[in-house]
Structure 1
Amino acid sequence: MSWRHLPKPARVIAETAADAVAAARSRDLEAFQRESARLGALDSEHAGLVLGAVVRMSLEELHPDGLTADDVQAMVARCARSAAGWFPDLDPHVLVLLVAGALGLHQADTEAFRLDPMDVARHAPLLVADLLALSGRSLDACLEAAFADIQRTQASEMP
């Protein structure tokens, strides 16, 4: 299944996410701000679901034996160092919350840990770009796998 053949709403999320990740990879602040603003203007629940699936699947591939707190700390530090020189608004706490959300870890007080959709739109592409650099996988392959996983999950949840 190719994400390029998905219905238009899903395709727009994938294309916009791909543009934001490409801008993050190129460390082009102007392009990144433009693309992350476009991503933040989309349905945040659906965009977050797709980006969260990409992050989760990348983490599972990079850490097949499980992810430790030290792994998360190292990943956040690496991503923060990578973006620090060109993206001054980076918030490592948002990166930690994105990882926790992608892994399905939820805090008891969800209001205290709720992320603004623009924080997700600005930080998730940074995290995805960093994870792709480590795994060597293409974003297209990750998006295809994420959409297939979302489709499987939704099909199994239907009565």
Structure 2
Amino acid sequence: MWPSDWPSSARAIATAVEAAVAAARAGDESAFSATTADLSELPADQVTSVLAAIVRELLETAHPEGLTGDDVRAVLESVVRRSASWLPRLEVATVVSALTGALGIDESAEPDRGWANPQPAAVLLVEYLAELARTPPRQSIHRAIGEIARAETIEMP
């Protein structure tokens, strides 16, 4: 159960992300489609912020000495390779978009790219990186939402 002092939207996002990651871990295409559809019904900017925060944290945990271009390529290749067998419609461009977006270097804002919603790809990144970092996804979800809440309560000068 998620903290009761969290707003209902944060609890809904945490629950939906956790369910989507579990579906990805199981390699269950229908469950993954259903849980990522649930995610798409939630406020997109909030879901994107949470997923990006989780991906960044897990990247930092998995690569404590810093992230190289080879590390990024290895993450992308691993996520696509391990997901392709059970998620045949996965668009590689959405995985790239989700990862670069989490790193703050997303160029998908260019018009007419036609890429799909990157949230399902971000869930695939979370599932892979949690395993790589040996971190339970629930802990990463909890920390990401806590960090976002903390950042929102700090007054800017």
Task: Give the aligned length.
Answer: 156
Q: 1:97-153: CA deviations, max 9, x gaps? A: 21111122244x73349786x622321111110111111111111011101211222
TM-score (norm 1): 0.88
Q: Secondary structure of the residue that 1:90 maps to in structure 2?
A: coil
TM-score (norm 2): 0.89
Q: Which has the higher helix share?
A: 1
Q: Matches of 2:7 and 2:92 in 1, distance apart?
A: 34
Aligned to 2:45: 45
Q: 1:1-55: CA deviations, max 9, x gaps? A: x843211111001101111110000001111111111111211100000011000
Residue 105 of structure 2 corresponds to residue 105 of structure 1? yes
Over the aligned positions, Cα root-mean-square deviation in angstroms equals: 2.1
Aligned to 1:96: 96
Q: Would you say the 8 A contact 2:98–2:119 is kept in 1?
A: no
Aligned to 1:120: 118
Unaligned segments of structure 1, at least 5 residues: none
Q: Matches of 1:40 and 1:106 in 2, distance apart?
A: 20
Aligned to 2:83: 83
Report % sequence identity.
37
Find 1:144's aligned residue among 139, 142, 145: 142
Q: Matches of 2:117 and 2:51 in 1, distance apart?
A: 13
* Structure 1 position 57, deviation (Å): 0.4
Aligned to 1:4: 3
